[in-house]
Structure 1
Amino acid sequence: MTHEPTPALACVGPPRLLAGLDATARLDRVAHLTLHGSPPRYGPVELTALAENIDLRGRGGAGFPFARKLQAVLRSAAAREGRTAVVVNGSEGEPSCLKDTALLLHVPHLVLDGALLAADALGAEEVVVGVTREDVARSVAAAITERGPDGGRLRVTRLPERFVTGEGTALVSGLGGGPALPSGRKVRTSDRGLSGLPTLLSNTETYAQLAVAARTGALEYRSAGLPAEPGTLLLTVAGRVVVETPTGVPLPYVLQQCGAEPGEGVLVGGYHGRWLGPDAARAVLVSRQSLAAYDAVLGAGAVLPLPADTCPAGEVARVARWMADESAGQCGPCVRGLPALADRLAEAVAGDRRALGDLEARMRVVRRRGACSHPDGTAGFVASALAVFPQEFHEHAHGRGCGRRVQGALPLPDDESPEQLVVDWTLCKGHGLCRDVLPDVVSLDADGYPAQAAMPLPGRLRARALRAVRRCPALALRIQE
């Protein structure tokens, strides 16, 4: 099991989503209703109008207008006997993001209220919450139980903890009992999602914001934030603090409230995001429009300042390697292209100037060629780093380095795991498929058999190890503590 960090909480101004958490660690059903009251009911027209009025957008990364998602599901349902489903995406496969975890651990009923508001408006038969963490799954299950008969349409499902689990087609497949992997097909969940039904799929925070707006009304909701981008939003700062802030607040002020500063630069939008140099980070506001001027987006709300005493090139190379390992293993740009990109980046940081020159070609190879956005996002992350920290990469590639250590400022999962991949020698026939699936764990001897009977299994590679166990023709592999 990987270590599962619990976020600290902070607010800039009066909280909405995080209201009540100054007095208790978790709002159960009674505390939730005491604070917020019962949610109103909205028909499809009224709920769509509310979402349009407050410009509610997806908070999981894409920022797609929620009202348009509602309308798309309603159109599909009208053509297919009216049956629909609602899915809450609570899977945070990126270690720099904890805002959805914070909501589902501390205020799960706010999220469920928003999902049920949408389900009632759509006439949905089922509301499914997809999560990856065990503690989050327990919190949501407890909240469903606390709702009594009202929770009959709700269920929570735990999926594999990996970067690509939150991709729409991967999430729907996993919730339906299939592999939680991107399908590569351009099928919108509003047309065909859970159980083949038109499905409203949105992020945890999006549903929580809907629940707040339904109670306050559009006018009160718009009293916070910018006129063009009303309301508050959640950010995960430095991979450890979840802060609620109105839009339009200067980014340096938000960082200060979380005990951080811009430092050498700030990564905005997580590991598929973009870097801001120190000057840009000090000038930008927490808003889509302000960030767009620097070719950046908030994405899933991860904000990662880089301290002045850490090595930018080494930090970026470390994350690029992890992103390469997070491949779904389905298509060449991920399986071969991303590891090759990570290799050349590591070689450049180690002092290979030719490797630095090869990086642009390596990025071209993976862009716009994957079954999902993972290759493009990873290449964009690396390209942005090269643009913002050119001198650091140049110094490293020419053997001089920057004189700073890699401090782990960009969070990655704890790889310490009590598990091992074990070979049963009475069954093993030396097919070698385990080496093909897990080259970072399994090495073969001269006869083509695994070189060790028991191999330490990093937590980040557990999903691949399960695949190796399933694929072994002789059933000779197992995972054990």
Structure 2
Amino acid sequence: MNKEQLLNIKEKTYPLLLDRLKSEGYIIDGENICPKGKFYESQTRIVLRNCDVINPESIEEYIARDGYLALEKSLHSVSRQEVIDIIKDSGLRGRGGAGFPTGIKWESAFVQEADQKYVICNADEGDPGAFMDRSVLEKDPHAVLEGMAICGRAIGASKGFIYVRAEYPKAVKSLMNAIEEAEKLNLLGDNIMGTDFSFSISLRLGAGAFVCGEGTALMESIEGKRGMPRNKEFRTTTRGLWGKPTVINNVETFANIAQILNKGSDWFKSIGTEKSTGTKVFALVGKINNSGLVEVPMGTTIREIVYEIGEGIQDGKKAKAVQTGGPSGGCIPTRLFDTGCDFESLKAIGSIMGSGGMVVMDEDDCMVDVSRFFLEFSVDESCGKCTPCRIGNKRLLEMLDDITKGRATEETIKKLEELSEIVAATSLCGLGQSSPNPILSTLKYFPEEYYAHVGENKTCPAKKCKGVLKYIITEKCIGCTKCARNCPVSCISGEVRKQHVIDQDKCIKCGQCKDACPVGTIILA
């Protein structure tokens, strides 16, 4: 395979692709192609440019969209150092969460002297509600393979691994097919495109451990060991997989590479902000009218994403907060919705970009319960290697349980904040260091909800935490006895056609009485 052959495939396939897309009602504006609808038209699609556009099982359709031309360029038109310089100049930062400059990471591995180097694609997407990586792997797998091959060429690596969740069987199948297709056309394998560069890619399936999204734990897992973080004595670009220089980037980062080489670093820098260039893909979920994957320029405000692309909150309710960054992120109140979604801006308000989860919450959500939900996830997923994460997060969860169940005092809140800061400062890896973020951000922006749970009249303003609420039968009760007949612990008494009463000492707060009441006279208060 050479450049002329790639262009011949493009010339043959592109008109057929356009005809199909036109017949299906796609919006076609030069190179910009997207499904019809405001949700898509309001986006800037670089990473998602081929998703739902090409057939992921057809390498010809990927080539029709300039696929593998960037790899050809890296092999024949520019040197390895020039490839790295282009990526450095573009300002591309890792999209997996930390935001480390991609070009600097590649250069660090490039200058190492070693008989073997590795490239790893971190596709271990574990954040609740996140599905960015999965969509790219399923719908545009060659973009990731091409990005990895370019990285391999640049740093001098001959072997790549994609660490992908076994819970993504469709993505695994898509990747296996794409690797096979690329090898047949000599775009992967030995002596790619007639050069002395050889690069192979293998899959490694993760068993669903969230901690294996952390780079060193991921490498331990690939090596056949238990997935636990390493002490950070060396950068992975110095001593990584099997002690060799290793570059780890995530799916979204690699999916940007070919476009940057094809269109230039200046083009990429023209999108986004000065320090956060390009676009970011968010999984917009929660109490939102239009949910799904959203790709927007860095710096786009939360308000624009929620109200313009997402078209506002479900059922006409008011937004309360947006949580970004998954279990490691923070909850952002509506008064800060004009904050831009870029690395610096989100960090300044106590949240993170993370891999791109964006959960929208409305007035019915309790921020204490939200913190408890995310922390429970972190406790379950902790590897247990370091004491602050293993023990500290467990104690934090117990305090949150006490708050939501009416067993806490104001002193509990003080201890909660103090221990959160200790866990964040002393944990070994990013999981433990960031796990208190949901607590610290909600304490900062929604302190009144915490104190309502522990005050003299313990209550949950959002009516979510049943442990501090009571079921009450109002004076509108018609005395039909349905509530009493459906109560599993027989705590409701009263005469026929007269107001009934709930014995609060016996009530288990199951809600069956409320569900059974035909006139809606039972309320949580």
- Deviation at 1:406? 7.0
Determine which of 90, 95, 98 is the counterpart of 1:62. 98
Q: Mapping of 1:303-342 within 5 angstroms?
A: 303-342=358-397
Bigger-Rg structure (1/2): 2
Name the CA distance, whole Å, in 2 between partners of 1:25 and 1:309: 41
- Deviation at 1:403? 4.0
The answer to whether structure 1 residue 84 and structure 2 residue 131 are counterparts is no
Q: Mapping of 1:1-16 within 5 angstroms?
A: 10=40, 12-16=42-46
Gaps of at least 5 residues in structure 2 are: 1-38, 190-199, 467-525
**After superposition, what is the alpha-carbon deviation per residue over 1:83-130, rounded to whole angstroms, capped at 9, x for unaligned?**
311111111121232211121111111111111001012221101111
SS of 1:391 mapped into structure 2: helix
Q: Mapping of 1:271-290 within 5 angstroms?
A: 271-281=327-337, 283-290=338-345
Determine which of 267, 275, 281 is the counterpart of 1:234. 281
- Counterpart residue identity of residue 372, structure 1: C
Gaps of at least 5 residues in structure 1 are: 1-8, 408-481
Query: After TM superposition, where is structure 1 displaced by more than 4 Å over at least 4 residues in a row?
Result: 259-262
The answer to whether structure 1 residue 154 and structure 2 residue 193 are counterparts is no
Deviates more, 1:300-309 or 1:162-171: 300-309
Name the CA distance, whole Å, in 2 between partners of 1:28 and 1:173: 34
**After superposition, what is the alpha-carbon deviation per residue over 1:229-288, rounded to whole angstroms, capped at 9, x for unaligned?**
33222112227622111123222111231344581111222221122211112x112223
Partner of 1:404: 463
- Deviation at 1:54? 1.1
Deviates more, 1:323-332 or 1:236-245: 236-245
Partner of 2:322: 266
- Counterpart residue identity of residue 141, structure 1: M
Identical aligned pairs, as a percentage? 26
Q: Mapping of 1:337-376 within 5 angstroms?
A: 337-351=392-406, 352-353=408-409, 354-376=411-433
Name the CA distance, whole Å, in 1 between partners of 2:396 and 2:363: 26
Q: How does the TM-score come out when normalised to structure 2?
A: 0.71
Name the CA distance, whole Å, in 2 between partners of 1:372 and 1:267: 21
Partner of 2:178: 143
Superposed CA RMSD in Å reads: 2.2
Partner of 2:303: 252
CA contact (8 A) 2:350 2:437 kept: no
Partner of 1:410: none
Number of matched residues? 395
Report 1 or 2 for greater relative contact order, CA contacts < 8 Å, sequence distance ≥ 6.
1
- Counterpart residue identity of residue 374, structure 1: L
SS of 1:238 mapped into structure 2: strand
- Counterpart residue identity of residue 131, structure 2: L
Partner of 2:489: none
Name the CA distance, whole Å, in 1 between partners of 2:41 and 2:206: 30
Q: How does the TM-score come out when normalised to structure 1?
A: 0.77
Deviates more, 1:244-253 or 1:285-294: 285-294
Partner of 1:26: 56
Distance 1:157 1:360, change over 3 A: same
Partner of 1:436: none
Name the CA distance, whole Å, in 2 between partners of 1:362 and 1:296: 19
SS of 1:147 mapped into structure 2: helix
CA contact (8 A) 2:148 2:254 kept: yes
CA contact (8 A) 1:160 1:180 kept: no
- Deviation at 1:228? 4.4
- Deviation at 1:225? 2.8
Distance 1:68 1:233, change over 3 A: same
Q: Mapping of 1:81-230 within 5 angstroms?
A: 81=115, 83-132=116-165, 133-135=167-169, 136-148=171-183, 149-152=186-189, 153-230=200-277
- Deviation at 1:220? 2.7
Partner of 2:195: none
